[in-house]
């Protein structure tokens, strides 16, 4: 009997020691997004607590880029454009595992214009459209158009589109010249100048040019509450007599080349019509149409209302002798909604397939 006492005491101490172990838990929410200059060094950290030893593993766009290791940092010594994406870390110990939120890394850079010098000809009275040459950049650069070295200011005869196209309306002989753009990346501080486009103007076909839509509005999808702009550029001669207006469901909304909706709601979804006509000439206006869709993120989830296309999910790559918890959320093209309540801790053998019924629904007020 006495020979068994040391073994019993050792077993009790071992049980007491395991009872004090803590599963991994997160420390801090982390940074959801980081913008880093191309060529700079980036260090991502995975802050977590729990019983030692902790091991960490990193993924990039859901692909493992490290093995399990005690190193909680991921260092990228010189960022490339291809390094932009979603990074995420997982932490584990003997008691379980936890996953950090994803961090979106964006790489700021400014490339060079790939086009060559061009020559274009426009008939007098007709429009001339000069497109921005291809340019790789993040974020989107600020663009300034120039003619013969002078900055172009938009007016009733010259328009710059939302896509930075230059549109010269009702062209005349004085519009001939050398056009180019200067692009500036505010994040990197760099700037580049495009190759020139030489525009020439030929003789007119007639003094009066009927209205025509040059740049029509585009079908647009926008998140509720985010400002949206629809654009419509028309040409005619005389240009000063041209009237551009907007309608929806037969009701006049505004006049001008752009229709701005400051805080659209789902009720603003519909077809918007741009009309153009010469105000001093009787005739039928020309028009162009665009569909506006205003969408909202998921705000309420009832499991009974979810289409049961997927009612369970297979979980792989789990470590034996550990327990896990899971949550469920609804996702659409806007993003994700709120998470469900966590499941009870499930062991490795119970997680061959995780049924959705194991996840409790949540209820929330609509934002």
Series of mean pLDDT values for 10-residue runs along the chain (367 residues): 41 48 85 92 94 95 95 96 95 92 95 94 97 95 98 97 97 97 97 98 88 97 94 96 96 96 95 93 90 80 51 65 71 64 65 47 37
| Structure confidence at residue 317 (pLDDT) | 63
Cα–Cα distance for residue pair 106/135, rounded to 1 Å? 17
Between the alpha carbon of residue 131 and those of residues 159, 165, 258, 308, the distances in Å are 12, 5, 19, 48
Cα–Cα distance for residue pair 297/337, rounded to 1 Å? 6
Cα–Cα distance for residue pair 284/282, rounded to 1 Å? 7
Contact 152/158 with Cβ under 8 angstroms? yes
Element (H, E) at 11: helix 5-19
| Structure confidence at residue 82 (pLDDT) | 96
**Equal CATH topology for 111-202 and 209-291:** yes
| Structure confidence at residue 20 (pLDDT) | 80
- Reference 335, options 223, 182, 177, 232; nearest CA is 223
Cα–Cα distance for residue pair 278/238, rounded to 1 Å? 8
For domain 111-202, the CATH architecture is Sandwich (2.60)
- Reference 358, options 315, 295, 316, 296; nearest CA is 315
Contact 224/298 with Cβ under 8 angstroms? no
Cα–Cα distance for residue pair 269/289, rounded to 1 Å? 13
CATH topology of domain 209-291: Immunoglobulin-like (2.60.40)
SS3 of residue 165 by DSSP? coil
Residue-range domain boundaries for the chain? 2-109, 111-202, 209-291, 303-358
Q: Would you tell me which CATH number, out of the four given (2.60.40.10, 2.20.25.90, 3.40.640.10, 1.25.40.20), belongs to the domain 2-109?
A: 2.60.40.10
Burial class of residue 127 in the structure, from the number of CB atoms within 10 Å of its CB (0-12 exposed, 13-18 middle, 19+ buried): buried
């Amino acid at each position: 009997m006495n020979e068994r006492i040391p073994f019993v005491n050792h077993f009790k101490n071992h049980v007491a020691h395991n009872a004090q172990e803590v599963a991994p838990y997160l420390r801090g929410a982390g940074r959801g997004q980081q913008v880093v200059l191309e060529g700079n060094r980036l260090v991502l950290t995975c802050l977590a607590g729990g019983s030692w030893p902790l091991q960490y593993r990193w993924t990039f766009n859901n692909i493992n880029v490290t093995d399990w290791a005690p190193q909680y940092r991921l260092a990228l010594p010189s960022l490339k454009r291809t390094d932009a994406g979603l990074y995420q870390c997982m932490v584990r110990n003997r008691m379980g595992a936890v996953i950090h939120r994803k961090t979106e890394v964006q790489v700021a850079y400014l490339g060079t214009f790939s086009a060559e010098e061009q020559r274009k000809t426009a008939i007098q009275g007709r429009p001339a459209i000069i497109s921005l040459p291809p340019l790789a950049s993040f974020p989107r650069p600020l663009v300034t158009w120039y003619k013969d070295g002078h900055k172009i200011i938009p007016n009733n005869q010259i328009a710059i589109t939302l896509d930075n196209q230059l549109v010269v309306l009702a062209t005349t002989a004085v519009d001939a010249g050398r056009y180019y753009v200067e692009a500036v990346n505010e994040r990197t501080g760099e700037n580049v100048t495009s190759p020139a486009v030489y525009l020439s103007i030929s003789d007119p076909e007639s003094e009066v040019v009927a209205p025509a839509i040059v740049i029509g509005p585009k079908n647009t999808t926008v998140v509720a509450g985010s400002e949206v702009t629809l654009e419509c550029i028309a040409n005619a001669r005389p240009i000063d007599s041209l009237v551009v207006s907007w309608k929806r469901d037969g009701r006049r909304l505004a006049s001008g080349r752009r229709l701005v909706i400051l805080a659209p709601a789902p009720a603003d979804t519909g077809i918007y019509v741009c009309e153009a006509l010469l105000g001093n000439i009787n005739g039928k206006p020309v028009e162009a149409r665009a569909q506006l869709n205003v969408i909202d993120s998921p705000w309420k989830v009832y499991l009974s209302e979810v289409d049961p296309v997927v009612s369970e999910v297979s979980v792989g790559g789990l470590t034996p002798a550990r327990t896990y918890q899971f949550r469920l959320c609804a996702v659409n093209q806007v993003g994700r909604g709120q998470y469900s309540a966590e499941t009870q801790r499930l062991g490795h053998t119970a997680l061959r397939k995780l049924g959705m019924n194991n996840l409790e629904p949540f209820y929330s007020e609509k934002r």
